[in-house]
Each structure stands twice: as C-alpha cells, then as structure tokens.
Amino acid sequence: MNISIQGRSLRLPPLRLRLWGVIGAGALLSGCASFTAQPLSADDIKTQVQADRQALARDVAPVSGPVPLEEAIARAIKYNAGQRLRAMEEAVAQGTYDVSTFDMLPKLVASAGYRYRDKDLITRSTDSVTGQPSLAHPYISTDRDYTQSALTLSWSLLDFGQSYYAAHQNADRVRIAAERRRKAIYTLVQDVRTAYWRVVASQALESSLRSARDQAEKALADARKAEAEQLRSPLEPLRYQRQLLENVRLLEAIQEELSASRIELASLMGLPPGMDTQNLRVVEPAFNPRPQWLEQPVEDLEARALMLNPDLRESLYNARIAQEETKRVLLRMFPGLSFNYSLNKSNDSYLINDHWREAGVQVSFNLLSLLSAPQQWKLAKDGVSLADQKRLATQMAVLAQLHIARLQFGNAMNQYQRADEIAGVDQRIARHVDNQVRAQKQAGLEQVSQQAGAILSSLRRYQALSNMQAAAARLQATLGLEPAIDGSDAMPLPELTASVARGLSQWESGKLP
C-alpha cells in the first residue's frame, strides 16, 4: 500500500499496516465514547406510558359479577402492581443466589493472543564460568509475530471459602426478600379489607342517600316557595331552609366520603387503568363479631408472634448474615492457596515443543493485610453486635405491637357494637317519623333530618366495622397468619381465591393453627 506524504510515496509493510489499523480503530472508538445524553421526547414518554398501561392490564382476569371479599384479596395478591414488584425483588434475590453458587467452581479460562514486534528479538549470552561474552553470534529465539492459545484450569482455596460464605449470605437474603413480601401481603390485605367495607357502605347507602337528597331538595323548594309567598314570618322559612341545607350538606359529605371507595378498591385489586369502576359491585359478607382472639392466652399469642412475625424473622436472617461476615473476615487473614493446570499451543517457529502442559501450586499472602486485620475483625464483630441488638429491639417491638393490636381489636369491636346499636335505634326512629309524616303529624323537615341522621349512623356503623376489620388484619399480621402466597403468581385465580377463603375461615374460627 502506498501513502503520499508531502509529495513522497511510502510503502508500509503489511504488519505495520495492521498495527496502524488497530491504533486508528482504537482512536475512533475513543471518539465515539464521548456523547451528550438526549432528554426523553414527548413521543418516547407517550409510547412508554401506553406500553406500561398494556403491561398492567395484561393477563388480568375480567370481573364477571359481584366480587366477594376473598376474591378481592386474591386479586390483590395476584395482580396488584406493588405486589408484583415484591415478587420480582424476591426473584432477583433468588437469581443472585443461584449465580453466587457458581463462584465456588474452579475457573476454566480459554485465551488466545497475537503478538507482533517490528524488530527481531535478538539476545546475547555470557559464559557462566568466565563471565565473558560468548563467542557465538547473537541469536534469534522468537518470531516477530506469532499466536498463542491456552486453556487454563485454576482453583483458589481462599476464593472458594469466600464464595461459600457469600452464597450462604445470599441464600439468607432470598429469605429476607420472602419475609418482606409477606409483610407487603399483610399491608395489602389490610388495605383491601378497609377499601372493601367502604365499597360495601357505599353500595348499601347509595339508594338511601339518593332518596334522602331528593326529599331534602323537595322540602327546600317548598320552603323557598313559602318564603316567596310571604304567608308566614320571614324568619321561620329561613330557619327551616337553613336546617334543610345543613342536612343536605351532611348528605353530600357522606356521599363525598364514599365516592372514591370503588376506585381505591379497583386499584388495589389490580384492575386495568381506565376501567369504569362505577359498575364494580361487591358482596357484603355475613359478619358476626366473635371475641375468640381476645380469649386466647396471651402467652400463646406471644409465642406465635415471635415464631412467625416477618419483621423478627428478617432480623434473625440479618443476624446470621452478620455472623457469616465474621467468617469471611477471618478467612481473609489466611494465606491463599491456588492450583493451576493449563494446555498451551503456539505457532512460534522457533519452539521445538509447540504443544505443552503446565501445572503449578502457589501460596500467596498479603503481609500488609495484617495491619488492617484487627480493625476488620472488630468491624465484623460490631456488625454482629448491631444485628443482635436490632433483633432484640425488633422482638420488643413485636411484643408491643401484639399487645397494641390485641387492644385495638377489642376497642374496635366495642365501638362496632355500640355503633350497631345506635344505627338500629336511628333506623327505628326513622320508621316512626315516616309513619307520622304519612299521617301528617310531622313536618317534612323532621323526616329529612331523621333520615340524614339514620344514614349517618349507618355510615358510622360501616366505618366502625371497617376499623374492626383493619384491627383484625393488624393482629393477624402480627401473628403471622397470612394467606398462602407460595406460587401465587402461577396459581389460577379460583385456586388462590379458595386458599384465601380457607385462611379467612381459619381466622374467623379464632384458633391458632
């Protein structure tokens, strides 16, 4: 190849040309490595959002009718986006553990290389007895360019020990991810229960709210008409209107409070975004409050909580990870012992044996590591002490959480029973007022006021019931009585619903498994 430089023609040798080609390619790649990051465009964001919406709606079973409580919980476990995230985190932790187990295997490295030099490797020799230069001419022992390949098997005892304890730690991290998923299940079930009973309240009160508002608007129109006709004192119809408006505002506040319940439940159940949630219907469970959990011996509840509570189990795994770390630190203080065996091949024409095998044993030790060894050991021991202290603190927190959850469950049950009694009395009063209005012995204002009061009492009853369900869910979470989640991603929805129903029945029985 000819290259013209300042009118002079040069011819580069083929090997030198290859060398310049490698240098030029490296320079080109280095130039391409510097770039300016571009912000996302509106089209990019729109495309990604549409893809995410399709991903959220993918494989979600459609709702075919009224949804019972166990199906709502099962749908949340299977389709909720946050729950899917926890499941993916657990899968990633499992993958990390699976990969770390391969680190204990020996290393088998296949290598191949090309070497080039622009001048021959010429060496001289010296007589070992006289120290004078040898009379022989300088000699060449290596080609200017040659290739060499090798297959090397190496195994380090120190690396094996480090990988062994690291695999144990990653296995415990998999279990920690599973416990965090259990904890997320508890929170999710609690949220579903609360939202579900809000939908039950909205569904049960929507017709009463509509009827009461219609009556209030009608009575308000009559009052304004009476004010306009000036048949009575101006203050009397105005006071009448104000009381009616107060009742209307109360009814609107109740409707406002319940309006978002279906959207919240649909989101927790993982229903596709944009779905018409106004058609979502639920089945009001037959509920009979039973105080069996309050009658259980506290010692049995404490033992159950300390055995299965996810927070405490996570702290136990963290303590074990810290203990494994001390073993890794101790192992780093020992010399490294490695074994090597390789098969080699070269096309160097000066080699008589161009195929050969090599084997070796090497002992190595970083003497300067002794300087940091005491601090590393102290740090590892402090990590164990910290993990133990966290475990003790978590144990105390779990016991306190159990007693608080038990107390809250008892208080919520009492509040529900009281709210149920008040709602029953208001319903009976409302029926008497309706009868008197029909007999023209009571004014319409009294009827509207009493209807609003009865609806408010019913709402408070459902709120108390929702609070009691939330308290029951907190107590259930503290005791570790969660629905079955193993294989829930692949489990069909009817099977998962049946599993959740068995868990709810077991909880309602008030018996520890």
Residue 369 is assigned to a structural domain of this protein:
no
Q: Are 512 and 475 in contact (CB under 8 A)?
A: no
- How far from each other are the two terminal CA atoms of the chain, in whole angstroms? 86
pLDDT at 509: 65
At residue 20, the pLDDT reads 58
Beta strands in 57-177, from DSSP E residues, in sequence order: 107-116, 122-123, 139-140, 145-156
* Residue 143: strand, helix, or coil: coil
Residue 352 resides in a domain: no
Predicted local confidence at residue 359, as pLDDT: 93
DSSP structure class, residue 367? T
pLDDT of residue 147: 92
Quick one: pLDDT at residue 345?
Answer: 93
Supply the range of the domain harboring residue 387. Answer: 69-105+156-337+374-509
The closest of 56, 112, 45 to 85, measured between CA atoms, is 56
Domain presence at residue 348:
no
Distance CA 304, CA 298 (A): 10
Residue whose tokens read 């989101």: 267
Residue 463 counted as domain residue: yes
Is residue 317 situated within a structural domain? Answer: yes
- Model pLDDT, residue 339: 92
What pLDDT was estimated at residue 344? 93
Helix 310-332 to helix 369-438 angle (10° resolution) is 170
Structural tokens at position 310:
């996810």
SS3 337: strand
Query: Quick check: is 251 in a domain?
Result: yes
Number of structural domains in the chain: 1
**Mean pLDDT in each 10-residue stretch from start to end of the chain (513 residues)?**
42 52 58 65 80 72 85 86 76 84 84 86 77 72 88 89 89 88 84 86 80 75 72 69 76 77 86 73 77 80 85 88 86 86 91 90 83 82 86 87 88 88 83 72 62 78 83 82 63 83 73 63
Quote the pTM value: 0.73
pLDDT at 27: 56
- CATH code at 97? 1.20.1600.10
Domain presence at residue 133: no
Residue 360 pairs in a beta bridge with: 340
Q: Is residue 139 part of a domain?
A: no
